[in-house]
Amino acid sequence: MPAPLIMTFVSTVAFAVQLMIFAYLYQSHRLRFFQYLLLAWGAYTLSKGLKLVDVLVLGVDHPSFVTDLTTVAAVGFTLAAAFAHRWAYRLRARDILIGTAVAVVLTLAGELAADDTQRAVGIALGAVQMAAGLLFWPSQARLAGFRGERLLAGFLTLWGIHRVVTQFMSTAPGSAGYLAVHAVFILLYFLSTFAVIIMVLERARSDSERLHARLREAERLATAGELAAGMAHEIRNPLAAILNATALLTDDTGLTPEERASTLAALRTETRRLNRILSDFLQLARPQAARRAPGDIREVVQHVGSLIRGDRSRAARVDVRVAVDPAVPRFAFDRDQVIQVLWNVALNAVEAMHGRGRLSLEVNRQKGDVALSVSDTGTGIAAENLPHVFEPFYTGKPNGSGLGLTIAERIVGAHGGRIEIDSEVGRGTRVTLLFPLEAA
């Protein structure tokens, strides 16, 4: 089998394989410019297959009219893809008719006219291919982000230059020059294929990032709405109590000293509760960045344990036990924020035991994490309620703000860690704060 025929057969198979890759990618990346490039690559593959038919079936050495027509159509679809990429162009029926007419005229000119006209047609096709390459070059604003566009623009331009240069070369079939010309053509085709794949995947990644940004914005707005609704619900009760108290204090009928003292105490209690809700909400809405510095977590745990023991009003009958593994290394954390989280979790545990039981504060190392565990012997949390404990304003306490664990989760997350909760109704709860050492 002659060398040109072998090269045509091998390139046809390679083109067909790349066309199948394009078709597979197009199923999940339905971009208009990619659709036109798929048609262009399909036309190139068809022209290669028709060239085999010309030689093996028709017995002619030169391409037939249909073979040349598919090549011209491939260049036209490449230009349409460049328009679609640059200006969101869409092929319409009128454009297809005009393009078909132009392709037929160019093909007939190449088939029937003299050598100079054939050369002019080849140069025109090369110029169109170079124009398509220039149109694929990204704008200045996108120059830094998309390598696939730059690669495809460069390879299509080189491909067009190659097409123009070959019009001035005369190579005998099977000669070294003939093989070199076709080898360069196949190389540019392969490189353009890979550039298209990179370009499509980069576009998909960019679209995915924009979609995720929109989803994050939608989640942020939804969270803001939930927080606003939760705030309105939470402040309604203390405001109603304050309103009732002020109404009683201004009642002309008068109150006994005991009733007045009780009303004033209720007023102060509800005011403090409202202030706590607002403070927690502001901390949730405007969190402070973690100012981490190397420190000893033992000191934090011992300090919180001492605070709990000293809180006689809430933990008078609570047995506080602190256990720290001496193998736990120093690591970087925000001391004030970790104290706040540990105090909040420990205070929740004390309230879950109604001020009576055993509270355990433990520190140990779990693989690459430092684990701070707070265990209590309280009432526990029902399994169906566990997924909701980090939601804003969700609380099982009558006077709780429902923001403590939400803030705690955010602080621990800012340290690169996470919170795990194990609980059994009637047996107690274990809350574990995990801080990764490698993130410190």
DSSP 372: E
Q: Are 198 and 255 within one domain?
A: no
Task: Give the number of domains in the chain.
Answer: 3
Q: Are 252 and 208 within one domain?
A: no
Tens of pLDDT, residue by residue over 90-134, are 999 999 999 999 999 988 887 776 678 888 999 999 999 999 999
Tens of pLDDT, residue by residue over 348-360, are 888 888 888 999 9
DSSP 433: E
Q: Are 47 and 185 within one domain?
A: yes
Tokens 């066309």, residue? Answer: 19
Q: Are 267 and 316 within one domain?
A: no
* Between 232 and 143, the higher pLDDT residue: 232
Say how far apart CA 274 and CA 266 lie, in whole Å: 12
Q: Are 362 and 430 within one domain?
A: yes
Model pLDDT, residue 14: 87
Q: Are 234 and 355 within one domain?
A: no
How does residue 43 score in pLDDT terms, banded at 50, 70 and 90? very high
| Residue-number span of the structural domain to which 148 is assigned | 3-215
Q: Are 109 and 197 within one domain?
A: yes
Domain-ending residue, one of 245, 267, 285: 285
DSSP 138: P
Say how far apart CA 102 and CA 73 lie, in whole Å: 9
List, in order, residues 6 or more apart from 282 with CB less than 8 Å away: none
Q: Are 414 and 347 within one domain?
A: yes
Indicate which CATH number applies to the domain containing 379: 3.30.565.10
pLDDT at 82 over 80: yes
Q: Are 228 and 340 within one domain?
A: no
Q: Are 177 and 203 within one domain?
A: yes
Indicate which CATH number applies to the domain containing 184: 1.20.1070
Indicate which CATH number applies to the domain containing 257: 1.10.287
Model pLDDT, residue 387: 84
Say how far apart CA 372 and CA 411 lie, in whole Å: 14
Chain length of the chain? 440
pTM above 0.85, yes or no: no
Q: Are 210 and 225 within one domain?
A: no
DSSP 182-204: HHHHHHHHHHHHHHHHHHHHHHH
Say how far apart CA 205 and CA 94 lie, in whole Å: 34
Q: Are 148 and 16 within one domain?
A: yes
Beta bridge partners of 434: 371, 418
Q: Residue 373 belongs to what H/E stretch?
A: strand 369-375
